[in-house]
Amino acid sequence: MLRIQPQIGLHIGLHILLVEDDPVLADGLLRALSAQAMTVQLVRDGIAADTALQRTASVPTFDVAVLDIGLTGIDGFEVVRRLRARGAAMPVLLLTARDAVEDRVRGLETGADDYLVKPFATAELIARIRALARRHAPPSSVLALGRLSLDSATRRARIGDRAVELSVREWGVLEYLLQHAGRVVSKQQILDAILPWGDDVTLNAVEVYVSRLRLKLEGADVAIRTIRGFGYLLEAAA
Ligand code: CA
């Protein structure tokens, strides 16, 4: 599996899962999509695709899945069927080697959103990926305080016009503090809010994330105050 690791938190461009077992086509598409500032995870069989998509249960990792139908292990139809059975709404574009009506119907009935017949122009694939991502984009929800803003749809954090790079956990802590700006929140409340993403996080870890955030939020005109023995309070800096 060739993996270009997405930087979660500073979200630039779309995150694509590409499932294609033809090595020449796969490598060509990987290059073409990457050149469009898309972050691509390439897997080459149906089982690997199913596994990659299961990881998205807690963190939405992919904006669009591009899925070949003819795969070893389980085919593209079955990958989509399992994805939808888990309740995932991620847009899926199917690729097929033949323009058979029954394949197209079966793909759409299984829960795919779009369909492209090989051979296709790379430009058309890119346009369709963008269209799918636009249709499925969650409504933008921006939290802001001082010069700091967090866009939960794009997962972009900014201080003024400057992008701030945050880890997934730092993002979670900051989002929770910002949702409760002006109120005191306990470390346990913060922990409960970020736990869906992770495994073993302790109250001490919350302190570590907060101290990192304080460094990263320099110039944001916000302050994370320590409420001794209890937790934190995010407020606009005086
Ligand atoms: Ca194939």
Q: What does the domain layout of the chain look like in residue ranges?
A: 3-136, 142-236
Token pair 């090595």: residue:
23
Q: Work out the number of other CB atoms within 10 angstroms of the CB of residue 236.
A: 14
Side chain identity at residue 223, one-letter code? A
Average pLDDT over residues 37-53: 92
User: So what's the pLDDT on residue 186?
Assistant: 94
Which of the given ranges, 26-40, 90-104, 150-164, 192-206, has the highest pLDDT on average? 26-40
What CATH number should be reported for the domain whose range is 3-136?
3.40.50.2300
User: So what's the pLDDT on residue 231?
Assistant: 93
How far does residue 72's CA lie from ligand 1's centre (Å)? 8
Determine which helix (DSSP H) or strand (DSSP E) holds 22, and give its type and residue range: none
User: So what's the pLDDT on residue 104?
Assistant: 82
How far does residue 135's CA lie from ligand 1's centre (Å)? 27
How far does residue 76's CA lie from ligand 1's centre (Å)? 9
Average pLDDT of the chain is 86
* 125-163 per-position pLDDT tens digit: 999 999 998 888 766 678 899 999 998 777 789 999 999
How far does residue 35's CA lie from ligand 1's centre (Å)? 23
Instruction: Give the phi and the psi of residue 149 in degrees, each rounded to 5.
Output: -140, 145
Name the nearest CA neighbour of 219 among 154, 160, 136.
Answer: 160
Residue 182 burial (10 A CB sphere; 0-12, 13-18, 19+): exposed
* 66-83 per-position pLDDT tens digit: 999 999 989 999 999 999
Average pLDDT over residues 16-43: 93
Determine which helix (DSSP H) or strand (DSSP E) holds 43, and give its type and residue range: strand 39-43
Given a cut of 80, whether residue 98 has pLDDT beyond it is no
Global confidence as pTM:
0.57
177/234 Cα distance (integer angstroms): 6
- The answer to which of 103-107, 117-121, 137-141, 189-193 has the lowest mean pLDDT is 137-141
How far does residue 86's CA lie from ligand 1's centre (Å)? 24
Side chain identity at residue 27, one-letter code? D
How far does residue 19's CA lie from ligand 1's centre (Å)? 9
Residue pair 124/95 in contact (Cβ under 8 Å)? The answer is no
How far does residue 108's CA lie from ligand 1's centre (Å)? 18
Determine which helix (DSSP H) or strand (DSSP E) holds 96, and give its type and residue range: strand 92-96
* 163-196 per-position pLDDT tens digit: 999 988 899 899 999 989 999 999 988 988 877 5
Average pLDDT over residues 19-42: 93
Q: How confident is the model at residue 1 (pLDDT cuts 50, 70, 90)?
A: very low
How far does residue 13's CA lie from ligand 1's centre (Å)? 26
How far does residue 201's CA lie from ligand 1's centre (Å)? 41
Name the nearest CA neighbour of 128 among 108, 113, 141.
Answer: 113
H helix intervals, 92-232: 101-110, 122-136, 168-179, 187-194, 203-216
How far does residue 126's CA lie from ligand 1's centre (Å)? 19
- Please tell me which residue, 237 or 1, carries the higher pLDDT value: 237
Q: Which CATH class is domain 142-236?
A: mainly alpha
